[in-house]
Structure 1
């Protein structure tokens, strides 16, 4: 199942966009940061790499919504020694600007996978390898949790490398579109990575490393399952900044999870009339969160059209909530164009991040997300993608 993810609050911004931005920044703008004043608020990274002098290297990280790009180092015994600010443990990316690893497209360069490791205050991490193969650098530390995370990465980065090779092959084609075989292989890799993440979390539930891995998929699984997984971590891990952030977001999603009464909203529809969820009590309502930019969302529309035709006369109402990007004018244009192209006939509203952020209120991070509400206003299904469970639940409610 393909999924599009936006606005991961824990990361505070889409890391893909950040990395792309970094590759477009001139080297001179990567100013060295003043080093931390003490070991308790810093970590040390020792880097020894073949061909390191050929490419700029730096470490991006966010503190208090401000991005830092540390590139200053000292030399000792053949190692580059970096000291980075850190309070809470974090997944730390290391950017090696090796252009041969990128995909060049008109006006931009898409960076390839980069090394990432767990970093903790007071810890020392040793990174070794070849700058021409940065994804497969070795990471060592005396800290057990950092080494635990490296066990996860040792498997995950092989999958990332295979997926990246598929993406590169797609961009080499004339139309830059994936073949059915390529799509199937990417989905298989994503599925394997998801299973490995869950396995790792179960095997290392007492380690902070597992919480970092959990942070990459908790919003893709059932809210109850995610909440139970979080509850299984030790109190110290749950009470970390990351643990508390995940808890808050799960609580927000829980308001619109299965067996809860729907949280009503009103918004102006495509025809200018108000769409009021509360006024639809007595009908089965399917709320579909989508976007014109989301391939899987658009691919699901023919199925939704068939569902709507089958059940409209039996009391089904569908409300599409489109989440668009760009200026207000651009959002309106993209939204209306997609509706016309896809032949959508059910109710539609445009999400407004400034005054009526329905997606945020419903804790939607992944697209498409569908929420099915029964005639009494109770949520009976919250699903990601376009799975069979929707058809099964509709048949149960309306056939």
Structure 2
């Protein structure tokens, strides 16, 4: 019983298992630099996103500090105006690190001359990886440019040509990663790019055989493996993953309880996404066509101000379940582009995914719905 309790605690509080780590990085700039043009971020592997971190300033030095859950702290720095910003990535550990810039800060290339202490600069490895995949990227561009201007939704062969060419880029990148298994830059590239596209079974095999144990068995390694396993469920087994959330009216939503009773349309969108807004009248038409006993609709708004969501709900007469800014749902369903729509039938099987194949005006979705529900 004690061991079970301990296991459950570790599931809920992974830091108890892996320990809490903290980075500290100081950035020193020449007097000519406008230091307040700097923005700082660190990567959180559980959220799979860069998180802003505030700096303390003293003369022309900025210092940042925060806990981190990756093997090395992934620090991203931006410099520039609102319209255009330049960025650099460094990797650090718990040892206090320094980035010391010298010479005149050039707005066109601000991260040009610097010295690192207790930090790694992955720039050359990133450039080597870009060179390694360049031919595959050029091939993809040629195929895309030849097909895209005249493509029609019924041209499935052309669609798969483009998709295969895109997959070839990721396969080539995986070759590069496999040939540099002990480099943390390879682990970084695997997490950032490869795990979103390539088949989950292949990724799990590569993860287990490519990287050293200290990478695989880390908290970051656990995040990567969990992400791939979720993809295997959603994309491989075509099964829904349950979640519990509160809707915009503070009502509890237990997803499994809903899709066990009826078909569910799960829609991911954002107030900042024009195609998402354009799609709402089509979703509303579907809502009007099917009763709530036949079909439930759940919309998940992403990175959207609550007030703006409420305004659009009112203007567009959205009368279905709405969830706002619950990041975990996006992570469970591997959402990389918007809008995204899933149709889940009442056995929990995913029978439609918008991004699997272009579906203008959701015509294919309407046909599938007609075959799985009785129109009232």
TM-aligned CA deviation for residue 111 of structure 1: 4.9
Would you say the 8 A contact 1:258–1:379 is kept in 2? Answer: no
Q: Which residue of 1 aligns with 2:222?
A: 244
Q: Does 1:94 align with 2:65?
A: no
Match for residue 289 of structure 1 among 268, 288, 292 = 268
Q: Does 1:377 align with 2:360?
A: no
Q: Which residue of 2 aligns with 1:212?
A: 188
TM-aligned CA deviation for residue 322 of structure 1: 3.3
For 2:342 and 2:284, locate their aligned partners in 1 and report how far apart those are by CA, in whole Å: 16
Aligned length: 296
Please, what is the CA RMSD of the aligned residues? 5.7
Would you say the 8 A contact 1:252–1:361 is kept in 2? Answer: yes
TM-aligned CA deviation for residue 113 of structure 1: 2.5
- Compare relative contact order (CA 8 Å, sep 6+) and give the higher one, 1 or 2: 1
For 1:241 and 1:73, locate their aligned partners in 2 and report how far apart those are by CA, in whole Å: 36
Q: Does 1:224 align with 2:207?
A: no
For 2:115 and 2:167, locate their aligned partners in 1 and report how far apart those are by CA, in whole Å: 25
Q: 1:309 to 1:211 in 2, by over 3 A?
A: same
Q: 1:152 to 1:264 in 2, by over 3 A?
A: closer
Q: 1:352 to 1:139 in 2, by over 3 A?
A: same
For 2:238 and 2:200, locate their aligned partners in 1 and report how far apart those are by CA, in whole Å: 12
1:154-205 Cα deviation digits (max 9, x unpaired): 899xxxxxxxxxxxxxxxxxxxxxxx9xxxxxxxxxxx99986764443123
TM-aligned CA deviation for residue 298 of structure 1: 1.7
Q: What secondary structure sits across from 1:351 in the alignment? A: strand
Q: Which residue of 2 aligns with 1:112?
A: 84
Q: Does 1:60 align with 2:60?
A: no
Q: 1:193 to 1:59 in 2, by over 3 A?
A: farther
TM-aligned CA deviation for residue 286 of structure 1: 2.7
Would you say the 8 A contact 1:323–1:359 is kept in 2? Answer: no
TM-aligned CA deviation for residue 268 of structure 1: 6.7
For 2:237 and 2:311, locate their aligned partners in 1 and report how far apart those are by CA, in whole Å: 34
TM-aligned CA deviation for residue 112 of structure 1: 1.8
Q: Which residue of 1 aligns with 2:311?
A: 334
- Tell me the TM-score normalized by structure 1: 0.51
For 2:41 and 2:277, locate their aligned partners in 1 and report how far apart those are by CA, in whole Å: 34
Q: 1:322 to 1:278 in 2, by over 3 A?
A: same
Q: 1:232 to 1:134 in 2, by over 3 A?
A: farther
1:90-141 Cα deviation digits (max 9, x unpaired): 4433343x4xxx3xxxxxxx25232213324479978778522126737898
| Structure 2: gaps of 5 or more residues | 1-21, 45-50, 134-148, 150-164, 372-376
Q: Does 1:322 align with 2:300?
A: yes
Q: 1:214 to 1:366 in 2, by over 3 A?
A: farther
TM-aligned CA deviation for residue 277 of structure 1: 6.3
- Tell me the TM-score normalized by structure 2: 0.53
